[in-house]
Each structure stands twice: as structure tokens, then as C-alpha cells.
């Protein structure tokens, strides 16, 4: 034995080094720790990931981006009679949707999951002082009719094509939480057992339940004996939080974590570099998703108000090359905000190609002529100089920004880079439309998400509206407004398709935004793990943990 090995053995013996975990334990590294474990209060990716193992929603979007039942027996539809249109008390068209919970569904302490748990979740959600985040579902769901202990009819005051997707209505264990909530709804979020005593078995309804929590550091989950579905593969799952991605990578290489969850893992460039160095030790999977990187153009600026200038800006950039060079071709180029994986994506729409000559021609037509210094000027002598902003410290975005600057400079457009910390950028500059030119950032959406808040003319933030709305470009298009209003209430998928096509067409030809690419999550798994299916949308892969398996 060589000296280092002797020293290592001696140290390990002296310090009680922990042996490598057996395959009955899976340790997952993520970069965020959930600030609360309550299913309805606040929303963050780390919490969704943990809940994927330990809680089952009634419905969810699956890996094929379809709404499916997880806690209900059959997805109610207008066709199978589970959903029935009706008139809401306010006179608007509504719908009554009936869900039947799975027979053996139970909380971790053996208490059956019943309509009581749905009723409690609804009552708590409707109460403004409970502090639930997005409350639209609770506002729209105006009445609940109990059929029996497992069957419930939900009455909504509007009828949209997503009428049966109640992904956000998470049953809460009424037998444990109701009395705590009733004592004082205003302070309930500070007293919920999900945060005060997360190891209480009755809080959890998934294949696993939380058995230990080290705030800010780790969560330990073990198989839930009351779970009604197929047995999940590991006796124990440990979720470790390592916020520094270099340290997270080191933890993976040192064997302290078995895998890095793509939902909250390494940035793409770091994962690609790691794959080059350690590709034989792990399996790498790059899942394109709904995070849409794009550039919002401030259409109030005279130069950008001209559609020809916007088209020229798009023609001047080689997005394929950006994606190839910076991301190894692992992220799909975006041609609109609709992801190619979305069923409403239209691949036949015209695409504006990389065409620097065409860009120059358009700028000439728009009255921007190349000056002596290579920068274009209009008849008044004003330089075509635009500000390009993004979030400071985001290495990928800053790289993209520099490449774009060079590409636009080549057609005579001067780009002034001015970046700000995310809080300032989002909290002030973008949300109050203070960017003087272009803002590079990402939108997170959901499958078939109608982009009303970002494209409808009524959603332009202004002081008069207290800066509400996300139409930061200031885009106004009467036909787009009408389409965005019709889309949610068009129930038939095939009837929506032409509307979606037209929305994408207007977006692609009017160019209020320069689409760049859809970000991809880098999932890094051990070679012995199989069956993990990332979705690409907000539902995490952990929701299907019972399908994961250990390869021999």
C-alpha cells in the first residue's frame, strides 16, 4: 500500500468516514433549498421538486405535456360527461367538473385522502389573509359540491380550454392542518406543520415522505408505507442543497451526490464542460424546456417602432451559430414564444433567416445610412445606437450579448451594453419599461399558455396601472388582442389551432420581440439510474419517481 492510501485509511478510520451509500439510497444535488414546504404558500422550483417525491396533485401535465390524473381516477372532460357547462352566478359561462379520488389514496399516517382535504385547501386558498400566492384558481372556483367522501364537483365561473386542469389545487391534510388554520388564518403560514414539523407522516401523500430536514442544507425522504401505487426504487432519497455550482460539481465528482437534478442543476455551459471531462462516469441529458430566452424591444423608441428596423435586427443575427458555438447545439433556436414541444407549435410558419445583406437593405430603406465611422445615421444625423440590457452576472446571457453586439455592429448598428443586477433589472428597469432599447431575459410559461399578459395591449405597464402587466415592449395589435381573448374560451383543440397559428404568425412577422432560444436543463444521472423522464415544463421529473429504476 502506498503512503497516501495508508494516510487515507488511517484518517478514514480515525474520523469515522462514512462508507459509500448503498444503492438503496439515492442522493440528489440541487442548487436551492425550499423556503417553505407548504404546498400552496409560495412557489419555487426546489419545493416543486421535493413535492414531486412526497405529494401527489390531483392533475398535472405529464412528460408528453398532456393533462393527466395523478390523484383522481379519470380525467373529467366534456366528452365523458365529467365536465358540464353551466351558467355561473355572475351570469358568465361556467363549468362544473367532477373528480373522483383514487380509492386507496391516503396520507402517510394512513388517513384516507377525501373531499375534506380538497374543501380545506379551497377554503384556505380563498381566504386572502392565508397568504396563498397565485389565487386565480381560488377566485374562479366559487362553489364545491360534495358527492361522497371521494367525489367532488368543482364549479368554476369561467369555461376555458383548461377547465379540467386543477394542478394548483393541492389537497391539504385537513385532519392535521385545519385546526391550525382556523385558529388564525393570518398567522397560519407561520404555524403550518409543513414547516414546524415536516417529518409528520400525515402531511405527505406521495411515494416518499419527508423524515428529516436540515434547514438550508438537506432533506431526507423515505418510502411512504401508506403509498397506494407501485413501490418506488429507493428506500431513502436525500436531497442536498449546494448553491455554488462549482461546489455542486465537486460534490458529484466526489460521490457525495449521485445525480444533479436538471430542474435545479448546473448551468448548461458548465454541464457541457463537465460532460467533456467526465462523460464516461455519468449520463447527461439535455431537456429543452419552456424557459424562453428572448429580447424585448421597447417599441416606444422611434427607431424600434419601425418594423423594418426590427426585421433587420433579426436578420442580422445568426442564432444557429450562437446556439452551436455557445451551447454545443443543445438548445433549440426559438422562432416564436411557442416551444416546438408544445402541441400548438406551428412548424410551417415563415422563419426569418440569418441574412445580413437583407438586414442592410432594410436599414437603408428605413433611412438609416452607414456613416463614416461605420454606424448608421438617419436624415437628422442621429446614430442608430441602441442599449442592450440583461441581468449582470449571468455568464451565458453576457456571452450571448457580446456575440449579438458584434453581429449587429457588422450591419452598422451600435449596441451599448448596460447590465444590472437581477433585482434592479426586473424590479425597476423592465417592469417599469425603463430600458432604452432592448432587454434580454427569459419567460417561464406552461404548456399551451395563452400569452395574454405579455402581448395584450391592455397589459402594458404604466404608472396609471400601478405598473401591472408584462407587455414590456408596449406591443399594440388589435387582431392579436382579439385572438388572445378568443383563445382561452375556444374549447376544441382543433378549433384553437388556427388561432394559435395566427398568433404565432403575427408574432413572427410583426417582431415585437427577438426570439433567441429555449433554454435546456442539464440532467446528470449516474449510469446505473434509468427511467427519469424530465418534462421540460414546470412539473418536475420527481413526480414520476416510481418509474425510476436501478440498472443491474
Q: Mind spelling out the 3-state secondary structure of 346-382?
A: CCCCCCCCCCHHHHHHHHHHCCCEECCCCCEECCCCC
C-alpha 489/C-alpha 287 separation (Å) is: 31
- CB neighbours of residue 495 within 10 Å: 12
Q: Which stretch binds another protein (CB under 8 A): 1-9, 329-337, 351-359, 506-514?
A: 1-9
Q: Using CB under 8 A, count the residues that bind another protein.
A: 67
Min dist. Cβ of residue 93 to another protein (A): 21
Check if the beta carbon of residue 311 is closer than 8 Å to that of residue 511: yes
Q: Which of 86, 92, 104, 129 binds another protein (CB under 8 A)?
A: 129
Short-list 161, 82, 172, CA closest to 124: 172
The residue (of 15 and 380) whose beta carbon lies closer to another protein is 15
Short-list 134, 130, 135, 132, CA closest to 187: 130
C-alpha 428/C-alpha 438 separation (Å) is: 15
| Residue numbers 238-267 binding another protein by CB under 8 A | 238, 240-244, 246-247, 250-251, 253-256
| Residue numbers 301-360 binding another protein by CB under 8 A | none
CA separation (Å) from 386 to 120, 195, 372, 383?
Answer: 53, 48, 18, 9
C-alpha 512/C-alpha 514 separation (Å) is: 7
Residues in CB range of 91: below 8 A, 6 or more apart: none
Min dist. Cβ of residue 467 to another protein (A): 8
Short-list 45, 51, 37, CA closest to 196: 37
C-alpha 543/C-alpha 535 separation (Å) is: 10
- Radius of gyration of the CA atoms of the chain, in A: 26
Check if the beta carbon of residue 332 is closer than 8 Å to that of residue 322: no
Which three cell numbers mark 126? 380563498
The residue (of 345 and 426) whose beta carbon lies closer to another protein is 426
Min dist. Cβ of residue 131 to another protein (A): 5
The residue (of 207 and 461) whose beta carbon lies closer to another protein is 461
Q: Which of 123, 157, 168, 346 binds another protein (CB under 8 A)?
A: 168
The residue (of 101 and 137) whose beta carbon lies closer to another protein is 137
The residue (of 135 and 273) whose beta carbon lies closer to another protein is 135
Q: Which stretch binds another protein (CB under 8 A): 4-12, 88-96, 98-106, 544-552?
A: 4-12
Does 443 participate in binding another protein (rule CB under 8 A)? yes
Does 18 participate in binding another protein (rule CB under 8 A)? yes
What does the per-residue mask of binding to another protein show for 195-224, with x meaning CB under 8 A? xx---------------x-xxxxx-x----
What does the per-residue mask of binding to another protein show for 56-75, with x meaning CB under 8 A? --------------------
Q: Is 28 helix (H, G, I), strand (E, B) or coil?
A: strand
Residues engaged in binding another protein (CB under 8 A): 4, 7-8, 11-12, 15-18, 35-38, 42-45, 128-129, 131, 133-136, 168, 186, 189-190, 192, 195-196, 212, 214-218, 220, 238, 240-244, 246-247, 250-251, 253-256, 422-424, 426-428, 431, 443-446, 465-466, 468-469
Amino acid at each position: 500500500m502506498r503512503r497516501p492510501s495508508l494516510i487515507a485509511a488511517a484518517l478514514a478510520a480515525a474520523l469515522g468516514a462514512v462508507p459509500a451509500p448503498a444503492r438503496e439510497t439515492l442522493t440528489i444535488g440541487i442548487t436551492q433549498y425550499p423556503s417553505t414546504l407548504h404546498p400552496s404558500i409560495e412557489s419555487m422550483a426546489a419545493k416543486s421538486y421535493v413535492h414531486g417525491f412526497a405529494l401527489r396533485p390531483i392533475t398535472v401535465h405529464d412528460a408528453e405535456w398532456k393533462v393527466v390524473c395523478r390523484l383522481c381516477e379519470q380525467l373529467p372532460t366534456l366528452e365523458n360527461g365529467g365536465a358540464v357547462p353551466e351558467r355561473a352566478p355572475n351570469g358568465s359561462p361556467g363549468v362544473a367538473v367532477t373528480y373522483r379520488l383514487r380509492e386507496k389514496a391516503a396520507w402517510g399516517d394512513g388517513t384516507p385522502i377525501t373531499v375534506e382535504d380538497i374543501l380545506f385547501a379551497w377554503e384556505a386558498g380563498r381566504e386572502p389573509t392565508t397568504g396563498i400566492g397565485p389565487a386565480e384558481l381560488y377566485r374562479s372556483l366559487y362553489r364545491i359540491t360534495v358527492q361522497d367522501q371521494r367525489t367532488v364537483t368543482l364549479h368554476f365561473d369561467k369555461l376555458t380550454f383548461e377547465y379540467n386542469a386543477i394542478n394548483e389545487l393541492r389537497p391539504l391534510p385537513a385532519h392535521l392542518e385545519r385546526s391550525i388554520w382556523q385558529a388564525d388564518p393570518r398567522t397560519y403560514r407561520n404555524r403550518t406543520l409543513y414547516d414546524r414539523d415536516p417529518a409528520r407522516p400525515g402531511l405527505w401523500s406521495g411515494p416518499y415522505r419527508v423524515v428529516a430536514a436540515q434547514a438550508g442544507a438537506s432533506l431526507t425522504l423515505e418510502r411512504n408505507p401508506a403509498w397506494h401505487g407501485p413501490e418506488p426504487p429507493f428506500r431513502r432519497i436525500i436531497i442536498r442543497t449546494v448553491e455554488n455550482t462549482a461546489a455542486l460539481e465537486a460534490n458529484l465528482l466526489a460521490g457525495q451526490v449521485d445525480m444533479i437534478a436538471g430542474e435545479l442543476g448546473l448551468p448548461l455551459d458548465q454541464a457541457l464542460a463537465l460532460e467533456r471531462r467526465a462523460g464516461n462516469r455519468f449520463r447527461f441529458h439535455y431537456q429543452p424546456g419552456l424557459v424562453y430566452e428572448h429580447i424585448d424591444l421597447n417599441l416606444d423608441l422611434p427607431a424600434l417602432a419601425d418594423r423594418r428596423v426590427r426585421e433587420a435586427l433579426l436578420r442580422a443575427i445568426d442564432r444557429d451559430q450562437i446556439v452551436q458555438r455557445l451551447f454545443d447545439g443543445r438548445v433549440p433556436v426559438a422562432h416564436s414564444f411557442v416551444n416546438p414541444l408544445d402541441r400548438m407549435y406551428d412548424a410551417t410558419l415563415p422563419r426569418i433567416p440569418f441574412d445580413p445583406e437583407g438586414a442592410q437593405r432594410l436599414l437603408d430603406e428605413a433611412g438609416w445610412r452607414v456613416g463614416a465611422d461605420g454606424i448608421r445615421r438617419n436624415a437628422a444625423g442621429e446614430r442608430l445606437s441602441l442599449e442592450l440590457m440583461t441581468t449582470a452576472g449571468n455568464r451565458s446571457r453576457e456571452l450571448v450579448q457580446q456575440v449579438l453586439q458584434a453581429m449587429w455592429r457588422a450591419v452598422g448598428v451600435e449596441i451599448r451594453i448596460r447590465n444590472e443586477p437581477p433585482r434592479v433589472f426586473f424590479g425597476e428597469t423592465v417592469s417599469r419599461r425603463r430600458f432604452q432599447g432592448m432587454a434580454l431575459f427569459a419567460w417561464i410559461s406552461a404548456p399551451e399558455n395563452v400569452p395574454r399578459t405579455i402581448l395584450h395591449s391592455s397589459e402594458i405597464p404604466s404608472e396609471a396601472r400601478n405598473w401591472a402587466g408584462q407587455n414590456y415592449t408596449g406591443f399594440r395589435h388589435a387582431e392579436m388582442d382579439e385572438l388572445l381573448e378568443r383563445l382561452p374560451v375556444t374549447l376544441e383543440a382543433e378549433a384553437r389551432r388556427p388561432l394559435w397559428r395566427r398568433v404565432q404568425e403575427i408574432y413572427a412577422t410583426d417582431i415585437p420581440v427577438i426570439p433567441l432560444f429555449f433554454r435546456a436543463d442539464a440532467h446528470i444521472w449516474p449510469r446505473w439510474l434509468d427511467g427519469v423522464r424530465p418534462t421540460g415544463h414546470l412539473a418536475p421529473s420527481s413526480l414520476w419517481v416510481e418509474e425510476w429504476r436501478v440498472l443491474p
